[in-house]
Amino acid sequence: MFSKLNQVESRYEEVNLSLQRPDIASNQKQYRALMKELSDLEKIVVLYRDYKKKSEQLKENKFLLTAETDADMKELIREEIKELEGALPQIESDLKLALIPKDPNDDKNILLEIRAGAGGDEASLFADELFRGYASYASSQGWKAELVSYVDGNVGGAKEVIAMISGESVYSKMKFESGVHRVQRVPKTESAGRIHTSTVTVAVIPEAEVNEIKIDMKDITIDVMRASGAGGQSVNRTESAVRLHHLPTGILVHCQEGKSQNSNKERAFQILAMKLQRLEDEKVLKEASDARLDQIGTGDRSERIRTYNFPQTRITDHRIGLTIHQLDQVMGGQFENLIDPLIANFQAEALKKQQST
Same-domain check for residues 190 and 335:
yes
Q: Indicate if 45 and 83 belong to the same structural domain.
A: yes
- 43 in the same domain as 184: no
Q: What is the CATH number of the domain that holds 70?
A: 1.20.58
- Whether 277 is in a domain gets the answer no
Residue 56 and residue 67: Cα distance in Å, rounded?
17
Which residues span the domain enclosing 77?
A: 2-98
- 104: Cβ contacts below 8 Å, ≥ 6 apart: none
Strands 306-309, 314-317: pairing kind: antiparallel
Residue 53 lies in a domain: yes
- Return d(Cα 299, Cα 141) in angstroms, integer: 29
Question: Does 90 share its domain with 130?
Answer: no
- Report H helices in the chain: 2-18, 22-25, 28-67, 71-98, 121-140, 170-174, 261-282, 288-291, 293-296, 327-331, 336-356
For the chain, the domain total comes to 2
Strands 306-309 and 158-166: unpaired
Does residue 262 sit within a domain? Answer: no
**Can you tell me the distance from the alpha carbon of 317 to that of 301, in angstroms, rounded to the nearest whole number?**
14
- Residue 231's SS3 state is coil
Report if residue 14 sits inside a domain: yes
Query: Among the three residues 52, 70, 98, which one is the final residue of a domain in this structure?
Result: 98
Q: What is the number of H-type helices and E-type strands within the chain? A: 11, 11
- Which domain CATH number covers 163? 3.30.70.1660
What burial class does residue 124 get, using C-beta atoms within 10 Å of its C-beta: 0-12 exposed, 13-18 middle, 19+ buried?
A: buried
151, 76: one domain = no
Confidence (pLDDT) at 131:
96
- Is 171 found in the same domain as 26? no
Same domain, 54 and 137: no
Task: Verify that 83 and 129 share a domain, yes or no.
Answer: no
User: Does residue 128 share a domain with residue 52?
Assistant: no
pTM score: 0.70
Q: Is residue 21 part of a domain?
A: yes
pLDDT for 90-144, tens place per residue?
A: 888 888 877 777 788 888 899 899 999 888 888 999 999 999 999 999 999 999 9
- The tens-digit pLDDT sequence of the chain (357 residues) is 777 888 888 888 888 888 888 888 888 888 888 888 888 888 889 988 999 999 999 999 999 888 878 888 899 999 999 999 999 988 888 888 777 777 888 888 998 999 998 888 889 999 999 999 999 999 999 999 988 888 888 888 889 898 999 999 899 999 999 999 999 998 876 656 788 899 999 999 888 765 667 778 888 888 887 665 544 333 444 567 888 898 888 888 888 776 678 888 888 888 888 888 777 766 533 333 443 444 444 444 446 899 999 999 999 999 999 999 999 999 999 999 999 999 988 888 887 776 665
Q: How many CA atoms lie within 13 A of 16 on its CB side?
A: 9
Confidence (pLDDT) at 335: 95
Q: Provide the pLDDT for residue 238.
A: 54
Distance CA 215, CA 212 (A): 9
Last residue of a domain, one of 63, 98, 133: 98
Same domain, 199 and 117: yes
**Which of 64, 98, 132 finishes a domain?**
98
Do residues 83 and 136 both lie within one domain? no
Q: Is residue 290 part of a domain?
A: no
- Cβ-based burial of 23 (10 A; exposed 0-12, middle 13-18, buried ≥19): exposed
Contacts of 241 (CB under 8 A, 6+ apart): 224, 225, 226, 227, 228, 254, 255, 256, 261, 264
pLDDT at 102: 79
Cα dist. 157→77, 122, 124, 264 in Å?
Answer: 66, 8, 5, 23
On whether residue 133 sits in a domain, the answer given is yes
Confirm whether 223 is domain-assigned: no
Euclidean distance between CA atoms 177 and 305, whole angstroms: 8
Task: Assess whether 123 and 85 both reside in one domain.
Answer: no
End-to-end CA distance of the chain: 12
Q: 269 by DSSP, 3-state: which? A: helix
